[in-house]
Amino acid sequence: MSPLAHRRFLKMNGLGNEIVVLDLRGGDVRVQPEEARAIAADPASRFDQMMVLHDPVTPGTDAFVRIYNTDGSEAGACGNGTRCVAWAMLDDPEMSRASARAGSDRLTLETRAGLLAVVRVSAVDFTVDMGAPRLSWDEIPLAEPFPDTRRIELQIGPIDDPVLHSPGAVSMGNPHAVFFVDRDPDTYDLARIGPLLESHPIFPDRANISLARILDRSHIRLRVWERGAGLTRACGTAACAALVAAARLRLTGREATVTLPGGDLRIAWGEDDHVRMTGPTELEHEGTFAPALFAGASAPSGAA
Residue ranges for the binding site for substrate? 17, 49, 69, 79-80, 174, 208, 226-227, 236-237
Query: Residue 61 carries which side chain, given as an amino acid letter?
Result: T
Nearest to 152 by CA among 205, 77, 143, 247: 143
Residue 235 annotated among the catalytic residues of the structure: yes
End-to-end CA distance of the chain: 18
- Neighbouring CB atoms inside 10 A of 123's CB total 9
Q: Which of 78, 84, 135, 211 is catalytic?
A: 78
Task: Give the CA dihedral 36, 41, 45, 48, nearest 10 degrees.
Answer: 70
Residues 6+ apart with CB under 8 A from 46: 18, 40
Element (H or E) spanning 286, and its range? strand 282-288
Q: Which of 29, 53, 154, 235 is catalytic?
A: 235
Catalytic positions are 78, 235
